[in-house]
Structure 1
Amino acid sequence: MAKGTIDLKIRFSRNLADNALTRYVTFSALYLAQGIPEGMTFFAIPAWLAMNGKSALEIAAFVGVIGIPWSFKILIAPMMDRFTLLAMGRKRPWVIFGQLGLILSFLNIGLIPDPLNNLTGLMIAGFFISFFGAFQDVATDGMAVDVIPVNEQARANGLMWGSKIIGTSLSLVIGTWLINSLGFSLAVSSLSVAVACIMIFPIYFKERAGEKAMPWTSGQASPDSKNTQLRSWKLIFKSFYKVVSLKSSVVFGIGSFAVGNMYGLIDTLFPIFTIQELGWTNTSFSQIFSITTVIGGILGMFVGGFLVDYFGKIKMLSLYLGILAVLITAFAFMPNLWRFNSVIYAFLLLYYTLYTFLCIAVFASAMHLCWKTVAATQFTLYMALNNMGRSSGAALLGVLKENFSWEGVFLFIAIMPVLMVVLIQFINFSKHRERVDSFVILGETLVAPNVTKD
């Protein structure tokens, strides 16, 4: 009995930096927490508004407002790199703050009186959910770069991204059922309990040994945190510029934007394509979307990260992008089969599974390129470029559909993964890592010797 207890303590530590199992469980839980409100605000609530006769303009306005905070994460990240309660860790205090704000704002949206006829109030409450969701996302990503070793990043991203997809899909299905069964307020309040329970993880687990669990408990800042924490805005932006101006960073940023266009085009296209072209109902699309993304999320959690670890980032990125290009091109050339639901189901399942695997590889690659000193800002830049690509892809769809057939639109989309395949061949992770590891902060000065060219 005693031996079993000792083994459990060895395998499951309270410190994220010291234990892989602790890292996997904690970051999966935090990403699950991001997925729950996202599934409600971006999918379940718009569907509920549509079911109750709200116009497309009103629903689009709601989605547009709640999407604003996600576009400005890059403004939040430098603040997290500059300020923190170091005795509690570099990013953990911000994770706790973001998670607390997420809980309170999620509860607040359930208190809005007559939400169907109070869209302004609904938008404001939804905006704050997205704000704290984006806040928690930036802090969690920054903490992940700080404490997850390079050899675990792909596996960890598989668990994290899979957890978020599952959280989003399940909250869409369960949230819709609860809204129809219990009403809007009780449904939102019920799901907010799940978000609140996840608060246990950032409160209990610490980044490194010897740190404070909470501000009033004993502990002190770890030497690792002190060595990587910057105290000057000038040094933060100088360090940030130094690392993102390296060739691999620039190429990856352009590639991330290109593949973001593919995400935005497909995500915007398929609800319109299936409903207007194929005659589906919005309920049918939501059900198929949830099922296919959950399957993709589960496979990503247990397979996606392992494949990237085993075969390498460039190989798997190239493989996923190549298969996606072939899949989308093949679909464009078979319009005579679009009338068969089984063909559409198969395409959606394959696409969203590959999408999940590709996201895992992209996120793991972004983490590998990051310098811990400005990790939150640098990682957020890559994600912001990807989100900008999504937005431009969504906006581009209308122009494409006005000028091309559906077949032409799909063929245009297939160009995006091909473009990223070409770009990533110019990325050299080992040389980039060697260069970044040569950067040294001495007082208020950045020393960046020319160890090797990137």
Structure 2
Amino acid sequence: MNLLSTRIGRLTAFFFLYVTEGMPLGFTAVAMATQMRRGGVDPAQIGAFVATLYLPWSFKFVMGPVVDVVHSDRLGRRRGWIVGCQIMMILTLLATTPINLATGLTAITWVIFAHNVFGATQDVAIDALACESLKEHERGLANGLMFAGAYIGNGIGGAGILFLIDWFTKNGINPQWASFYAAGAIAAVMFGVSIHLKEPERPHRRGREDEIPDAIIIDEVVTYARTALKAFFASRASLFALVFALLPAGAYSLSLALQTNLAVEFGLTDKQIGWLSLWSTILAASGCVIGGLISDYVDRRRVIALYIILTALPAAFLAFKMQQAGWIMPIDVTAANPPKPSSRLLTWFWSAVLVYNFLNGLMYGTRTALFMDICTPEVAATQFTAYMSLLNLVIAYSAWWQGWCIERFGYPTTLQYDALFGCLCLCALPWMTPRRTDDQQDDQQTDETETPT
């Protein structure tokens, strides 16, 4: 069985591969952040924790040239990296089981940091395989499905774990055993999908099948780095794509630790937060698929601009409602009688989060396809991975500054700043003209030939 040989197989394979990418982030940013806040950890510390865990994803471009050059034809140029990283992801998840989240913040940070290093390296190999395998007319839908898979993985690692924690707690079981659930989900994808990826055979360029001298590796990495830098700065579109990637694409706060902090402070149980996360995941995943599909038929830049503006509206709306309700600063969730929000404020919170996640999904499914359009095929793995790395760097610094801002200025101000800052990227978008493909050039030449004069 070769999943990469058919259109349905390719779309299915990349969907499930991205499920394994979303699980680590859901596990840390939702499940762990919820338990930390419930244990009295303040928003700034949680923001710094989430930011730290996104750092491996922010610098995964370092692995781009290595994944491109170092490989085994016997295991598969990309498959070997994917399967190897998934094994290490499973082992590091299991290593979190004995660590107490409230008292072992440093230890859990390092273990999950290592887990995300392997997750980010796996992502490099998956993205490289996608650039090599997907047809141009599949990219919009494929990227929508891929990020839908990531959102579903986020739901498995976030909502799924919270549901288990709630059930474990009611039945007297140590809730930390829930990490086995996430590890099992990754193992299922590894045995069901990853080992069945059969890449086309490539001609051997030198040496033995599975061995490349160190000098050649260094030379290849240097050559790739030079070519990638040339690709990044050789055109106006690539340069503005870098600027665009360095800025948040719309509001981010309702998908990061701010949302989790508010859910705990508003008195939601683990089960209720799990349902909020699950419905958010479903709506975001649906938005990814719909947005990616739409982008195959209309100008991607125009719809991305619309989605970015729309994501800022729920954040600004919730800021206004919290200001009206007088819910400004973080509360002590461990207090005997913490304040309770009104039912109306809870309704606005749920509504803002759910609407935001659907709109954010529309943007995600479209934005990645645009970056693929701009990439130079010869260094696709390195260039595309660099763009994706910068997107994760944005998430990391957003999580950090939002946690810092919440403690100093409160929730409404943080939400307002987030909505405004998220629209700055619109200035770069008009200059990101997609790269012309050979097919498009051939079509234009054909049209010119057939047009009567």
Normalising by structure 2, we get a TM-score of 0.77
User: 1:74: how far off?
Assistant: 2.1
**AA at the equivalent of 1:323:** L
Give the drift of 1:409.
Answer: 4.2
Q: What displacement does 1:236 show?
A: 0.5
- CA distance in structure 1 between the partners assigned to 2:40 and 2:310 by the alignment: 40
Q: Aligned equivalents of 1:71 and 1:206: distance in 2?
A: 29
Aligned match for 2:194, one of 188, 192, 202? 202
Aligned with 1:134 (options 111, 120, 138): 120
Aligned ranges 1:214-363 → 2 under 5 Å: 232-245=220-233, 246-259=235-248, 262-263=251-252, 267-272=256-261, 279-281=266-268, 283=270, 286-287=273-274, 289-300=276-287, 302-332=289-319, 335-336=323-324, 340=344, 341-363=346-368
State the Cα distance separating 1:275 from its structure 2 match: 5.6
Shift of 1:407: 5.1
Quick one: structure 1 residues 115 and 194, their matched pair in 2 at CA, closer, same or farther if it must change by over 3 Å? same
Q: Which has the higher contact order (CA 8 A, sep 6+)?
A: 2
Which of these residues, 410, 413, 433, is aligned with residue 418 of structure 2? 413
Cα deviation per residue 1:53-78 (whole Å; 9 max; x = unaligned)? 66778767765654442332122222
Separation in 2, partners of 1:404, 1:108: 37
In structure 2, the residue matched to 1:37 is 24
Distance apart, 1:39 and its partner CA: 2.3
1:85 aligns with 2:77: no
CA contact (8 A) 1:329 1:414 kept: yes
Among 420, 427, 447, which residue is 2:432 paired with?
Answer: 427
* Unaligned segments of structure 2, at least 5 residues: 204-208, 211-216, 328-341, 442-453
What do the CA deviations read for 1:156-179 (whole angstroms, capped 9, x no partner)? 111111111112123323323334
1:239 alignment partner AA: T
1:260/1:387 contact within 8 Å kept: no
Task: Give the 3 Å change call, closer, same or farther, for CA 207–345 of structure 1 in structure 2.
Answer: same
**Residues 1:376 and 2:365 aligned together:** no
Do 1:88 and 1:211's aligned partners in 2 also have CA atoms closer than 8 Å?
no
Q: Does structure 2 conserve the Cα–Cα contact (< 8 Å) formed by 1:262 and 1:393? A: no
Task: Report the counterpart of residue 331 of structure 2 in structure 1.
Answer: none
On the 8 A contact 1:89/1:211 being kept in 2, the answer is no
Give the Cα separation in 1 of the matches to 2:279 and 2:416: 23
Partners of 1:65 and 1:398 in 2: CA distance: 13
Taking structure 1 as reference, are residues 385 and 265 closer, same or farther at Cα in structure 2, changes over 3 Å only? farther
When structure 1 is superposed on structure 2, of 368-377 and 193-202 the one drifting more is 368-377
**Percent same amino acid at aligned positions?**
25
Is the Cα–Cα contact under 8 Å of residues 79 and 194 in structure 2 kept in the other structure? Answer: yes
CA distance in 2, matches of 1:42, 1:324: 20
1: CA distance, partners of 2:253 / 2:239: 21
Give the C-alpha shift of residue 328 in structure 1. 4.2
Structure 1: gaps (5+ residues): 1-12, 213-219, 222-228, 438-454
Contact 2:24–2:154 at 8 Å: present in 1 too?
yes
| Stretch of structure 1 that moved more, 346-355 or 390-399 | 390-399
Q: 1-side partners of 2:159 and 2:370: how far apart?
A: 32
Q: CA deviation at 1:126?
A: 2.1
Are the aligned partners of 1:308 and 1:361 in contact in 2 as well (CA < 8 Å)?
A: yes
CA shift, 1:199, in A, is 0.9
Is residue 15–residue 207 contact of structure 1 (8 Å, CA) maintained in 2? no
Q: Using the alignment, how far apart are the partners of 1:282 and 1:269 within structure 2?
A: 16
Deviations 1:381-402 (A, max 9, x none): 1122222222333333366557
Alignment of 1:133-212 (within 5 A): 133-180=119-166, 181=168, 182-184=173-175, 186-200=177-191, 201-208=193-200, 210=201
1:140, CA displacement in angstroms? 1.0
Instruction: State the TM-score, normalized to the length of structure 1.
Output: 0.77
Asked if structure 2 preserves the Cα contact closer than 8 Å seen for 1:265 and 1:396, the reply is: no
Q: Return the letter of the residue paired with 2:350.
A: Y
How far 1:129 sits from its partner (Å)? Answer: 1.5
Q: Report the equivalent of 1:24.
A: 11
Q: Give the CA deviation at 1:125.
A: 2.8
| 1:122 positional shift | 3.5
More displaced 10-residue stretch of structure 1: 152-161 or 29-38: 29-38
- Structure 1 residues 188-217: Cα deviation after superposition (integer angstroms, max 9, x where no partner): 223322211111212112122x579xxxxx
Q: Distance in 2 between matches of 1:50 and 1:397?
A: 15
Deviation at 1:376, TM superposition (A): 2.4
**Alpha carbons of 1:272 and 1:61: their partners in 2 closer, same or farther (altered >3 Å)?**
closer
**1:282 to partner: Cα distance:** 6.4
The Cα RMSD (Å) is 3.6
Distance 1:26 1:363 in 2: 17
Change in Cα spacing, 1:274 to 1:29, as seen in structure 2 (3 Å) is closer
